């Protein structure tokens, strides 16, 4: 009889994830046993995430658990995006949670657990890890969406998100089980070696499997025609959770999308790229055109986040390292500009009033010149006006798609981008040219200010020094 001893050294690759699980457990214990020290919770979350960020940056490239867990440049960049999303969201949390009267310790714990899921997704080298990471990310977010039970809309948003997310996971799983049947293994690298030879391209089973996983991934990144849950869920969830959902899970979704489709089936690019090109046009079209008719600023930002998933697909469908680097760069810029715009929306909220409509930002420039100026930067970046990061990100995406020969898609992207200027800049007009509806000043608490400055710094910094981030993502991709 052999004794199975745990080899602790084998755990080294997942050290940041294990550490964050510890932080999540500690947060909920702290909330339970030391309820008076509750104001420390956000700071513990930020410090924990920063420590994990340090570990992720210092990790040696390699594999763990027999290739199930991969640490490479690709994973590291997506991990940094997800960690950044959690850090900035946490900085904004305390003020907003007080406004909507939701001060619960499990909020931070669920946020950190969802982060662990996202980190696992970024590092997934095996279909099992991919699925487990996906569910570990999604389950805490279902709970986060429905956490604010006093607001009647949240349970509706939570059940819609839960049912749609579960359906997407089931579709994805069926596709994964077919890939297992075709290749006899669940390791993504081995599957790509076995299936990329091109003999299977005409096989209906292979096409069904590829279609099912693309459908599942598209649900997660909210790409049309699988975006139908997005506006309702984003509008119904507390704004804070919406801000987090529109950035973190989307980036993690792109991480697994790219891992399977771009890194796994790179040789089959001529077969899947036209499908993605069609989906990208549809996503940008639906997102931008529907956003035109919204009266709620939050719902408008929800449709805009659908549209931005379409832009990010442009880099993925190019199938080149430059394209993938452009998508990753865009997701970094998107992290800053989208969280920034949602942060201003949160700063507008008052106790007992949601203040989510376009009317509520009328005359913001007189109520708070600083908030209006920051919102101006984020909206310019979302539109893609230089010298902001949004322009640079979009430029690289369009360039890589154009180089890959998808000129029609690029033309459509430029047209839809021009259309988007109408609804983004309408907010600017309301802020600067209309009289305020109310005279209460907009208060920016220190945490919110820190988050806003960080976002503005990211948007402008990436706009003024565009090359460095792209070079970094490219070198991370080529170092694999």
In the complex, the smallest distance separating the C-beta of residue 400 from another protein, rounded to whole angstroms, is: 34
Q: In DSSP terms, which residues pair with 64 in a beta bridge?
A: 69
User: Strands, E, within 109-183: which ranges?
Assistant: none
> Distance between CA atoms of 205 and 202, rounded to whole angstroms?
9
| Binding flag, residue 231, another protein (CB under 8 A) | yes
Judged by phi (left if over 0) then psi (alpha if -120 to 50, else beta), residue 267 lies in alpha
Q: Which of 18, 21, 103, 153 binds another protein (CB under 8 A)?
A: 153
- Compute how many residues bind another protein; rule: CB under 8 A: 39
Measured between alpha carbons, how far is residue 345 from residues 37, 409, 436, 443 in Å? 28, 32, 15, 12
CA distances from 333 to 31, 82, 308 (A): 34, 13, 11
Distance of closest approach, residue 33 Cβ to another protein, in angstroms:
24
Residues numbered 185 to 224 that lie near another protein (CB under 8 A) are 185-186
Instruction: Name which of residues 236 to 265 contact another protein (CB under 8 A).
Output: 236
Q: Dihedral sign, CA of 450, 456, 457, 458? A: positive
Q: Determine which residue in the list 12, 44, 139, 414 makes contact with another protein, applying CB under 8 A.
A: 139
Which of 131, 416 has the CB closer to another protein? 131
Q: Does 286 bind another protein (CB under 8 A)?
A: no
Q: Specify the stretch interacting with another protein by CB under 8 A; choose among 156-164, 274-282, 338-346, 460-468.
A: 156-164
Q: Which of 114, 242, 283, 294 binds another protein (CB under 8 A)?
A: 294
Q: Which stretch binds another protein (CB under 8 A): 22-30, 146-154, 251-259, 362-370?
A: 146-154
The verdict on 156 binding another protein (CB under 8 A) reads yes
Contacts of 198 (CB under 8 A, 6+ apart): 267, 268
Q: How near is the Cβ of 124 to another protein at its closest, in Å?
A: 13
CB nearer to another protein: pick between 172 and 454? 172
Residue 178 found at the interface with another protein (CB under 8 A): yes
Stretch that binds another protein, among 36-44, 72-80, 131-139, 407-415 (CB under 8 A): 131-139
In the shown chain, the binding pattern of residues 354 to 393 toward another protein, with x for contact by CB under 8 A and - for none, equals ----------------------------------------
CA angle 100, 103, 104 (to 5 degrees): 135
Listed in sequence order, the residues at least 6 apart from 48 whose beta carbon sits closer than 8 Å to its beta carbon are 19, 20, 23, 112
Q: Which of residues 99-128 bind another protein (CB under 8 A)?
A: 127-128
Q: What are phi and psi of 456, to 5 degrees?
A: -65, -40
With binding defined as CB under 8 A, does residue 225 bind another protein? no
Nearer residue to another protein within complex by CB, 36 or 150: 150
Position among 88, 158, 377, 469 found at the interface with another protein (CB under 8 A): 158
How far apart CA 336 and CA 109 sit, in angstroms, is: 23
**Tokens 């880099």 label which residue?**
315
419: exposed, middle or buried (C-beta count within 10 Å: 0-12, 13-18, 19+)?
A: middle
Contact between 413 and 314 under an 8 Å Cβ cutoff? The reply is: yes
**Residue with the two structure tokens 């390292």:** 321
| Closest approach of another protein to the CB of residue 283, in Å | 18
| Nearest residue (CB) to another protein, 158 versus 276 | 158
Q: Is 295 helix (H, G, I), strand (E, B) or coil?
A: coil
Residues that bind another protein (CB under 8 A): 127-128, 131-132, 135, 139, 142-143, 146, 149, 152-153, 155-160, 162-163, 166-167, 170, 173-174, 177-178, 180-181, 184-186, 231-232, 235-236, 294, 296, 299
């Amino acid at each position: 009889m052999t004794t199975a001893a745990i080899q602790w050294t084998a755990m080294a690759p997942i050290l940041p994830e294990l550490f964050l699980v510890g932080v999540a457990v500690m947060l909920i214990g702290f909330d339970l046993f030391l309820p008076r020290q509750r104001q420390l919770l956000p700071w513990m979350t930020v410090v924990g995430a920063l420590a994990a960020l340090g570990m992720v940056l210092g990790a040696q490239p390699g594999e763990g658990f027999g290739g199930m867990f991969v640490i490479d440049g690709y994973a590291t960049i997506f991990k940094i995006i997800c960690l950044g999303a959690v850090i900035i969201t946490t900085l904004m949390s305390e003020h907003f949670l007080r406004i909507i009267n939701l001060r619960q310790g499990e909020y931070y714990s669920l946020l950190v657990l969802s982060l662990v899921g996202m980190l696992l997704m970024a590092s997934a080298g095996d279909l099992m890890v991919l699925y487990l990471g996906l569910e570990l990310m999604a389950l805490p977010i279902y709970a986060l969406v429905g956490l604010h039970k006093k607001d009647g809309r949240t349970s509706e948003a939570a059940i819609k998100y839960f049912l749609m997310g579960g359906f997407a996971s089931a579709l994805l799983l069926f596709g994964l089980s077919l890939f297992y049947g075709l290749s006899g293994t669940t390791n993504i690298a081995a599957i790509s070696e076995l299936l990329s030879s091109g003999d299977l391209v005409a096989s209906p089973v292979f096409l069904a499997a590829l279609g099912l996983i693309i459908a599942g991934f598209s649900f997660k990144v909210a790409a049309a025609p699988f975006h139908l849950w997005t506006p309702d869920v984003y509008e119904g969830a507390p704004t804070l959770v919406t801000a987090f959902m529109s950035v973190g899970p989307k980036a993690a979704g792109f991480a697994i999308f790219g891992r399977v489709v771009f890194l796994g089936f790179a040789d089959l690019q001529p077969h899947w790229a036209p499908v993605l090109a069609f989906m990208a046009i549809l996503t940008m079209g639906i997102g931008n055109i529907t956003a035109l008719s919204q009266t709620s600023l939050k719902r408008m930002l929800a449709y805009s986040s659908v549209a931005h998933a379409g832009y990010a697909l442009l880099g993925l469908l190019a199938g080149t390292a430059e394209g993938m680097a452009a998508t990753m760069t865009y997701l970094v810029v998107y992290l800053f500009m989208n969280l920034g715009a949602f942060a201003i929306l949160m700063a507008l909220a008052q106790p007992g009033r949601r203040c989510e409509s376009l009317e509520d930002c009328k005359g913001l420039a007189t109520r708070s010149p600083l908030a209006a100026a920051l919102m101006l930067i984020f909206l310019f970046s979302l539109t893609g006006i230089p010298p902001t990061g949004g322009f640079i990100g979009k430029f690289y995406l369009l360039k890589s798609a154009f180089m890959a020969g998808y000129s029609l898609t690029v033309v459509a992207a430029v047209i839809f981008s021009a259309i988007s200027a109408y609804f983004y800049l309408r907010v600017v007009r309301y802020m600067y040219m209309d009289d305020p509806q109310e005279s209460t000043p907009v208060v920016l608490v220190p945490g919110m200010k820190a988050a806003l400055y960080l976002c503005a710094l990211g948007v402008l910094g990436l706009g003024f020094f565009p090359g460095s981030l792209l070079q970094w993502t490219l070198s991370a991709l080529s170092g694999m």
